[in-house]
Amino acid sequence: MNKRKSILVTGATSGVGYALTKRLLAEGYEVWATGRTPAVLKELKSEGAHAVSADLSKKEDVEQLVAKVGLLDAVVFSAGVGTFERAHETPDEAIEAMMAINVIGPMQLTKLLLPGMIDRRSGHLIYLGSQAGKVATPKASVYAASKHAIIGYTNALRMEVAPFGIHVTTINPGPIDTPFLDLADETGIYRTSLGKHLLTVETVVDSVINTVGKPVRDVNLPWYMGITSKLHALAPTLVERLGRKYFMKK
């Protein structure tokens, strides 16, 4: 591995993004870390990261971030928010936040970073999607919609940029044991009901690390959820009926 490959990680101040940033630094990458928690950014900077405070729901922050990072070898889009609630009970501000941070922000950042990668004819864009983007479940309608959007976007983007030597990957994990889960479902019911089925942060980080620089289309975590999504595409009504007990865990 080229020890000085330059990688930008969004959402670097919490969860998967935080753990990934620390792993990349430990493995010798040049890391640009962005997030919204000053104390954590300060910590990451002390460990060698280029730390940039940015809110990806604000276009001006996205533009300023791109102006600072310059040319990159790879980008990992791990910033994300979620609220698990029934569609008619989801607050407007939560709907807007999920669309702004999970969808619009990554699209705007991609748009601004692509010209440099196209000129150089290399690069790797890695998006943290979700199994929710393949199989939607109750109380996750808006969150699932945001992840469906990213999967659709990357499927088209992948074909657009392939002639320029640019890879596009989606990592689609199931529920992960991170603070995201507690924020998305403040009742704690979902975390409790999933128990040992929660993915560890390390599992997701390993998947990203193993993907960097490789022409991988997508990764499903855990692997058996990839089978579920394929079956759902073929027989959605049957899968939803058979999986109702699991899908209703929120």
From 18, 143, 153, 190, the catalytic residue: 143
Please state which of the four CATH numbers 3.40.50.2020, 3.40.50.10210, 3.40.50.720, 3.40.640.10 is assigned to the domain occupying 6-247: 3.40.50.720
CB 105 within 8 A of CB 57: yes
CB proximity list for 150: less than 8 A, separation 6 or greater: 102, 103, 106, 127, 129, 133, 170
Tell me the whole-structure pTM to 2 decimals.
0.91
3-state class (DSSP) for residue 30: strand
Would residue 143 show up in a list of annotated catalytic residues for this protein? Answer: yes
Which ranges of the chain have pLDDT less than 50? 1-2
- Residue 141: the pLDDT is 96
Any alpha helices (H) in the chain, and if so which ranges? 15-26, 38-46, 59-69, 92-99, 105-120, 141-161, 179-184, 189-194, 201-211, 223-234, 236-242, 244-247
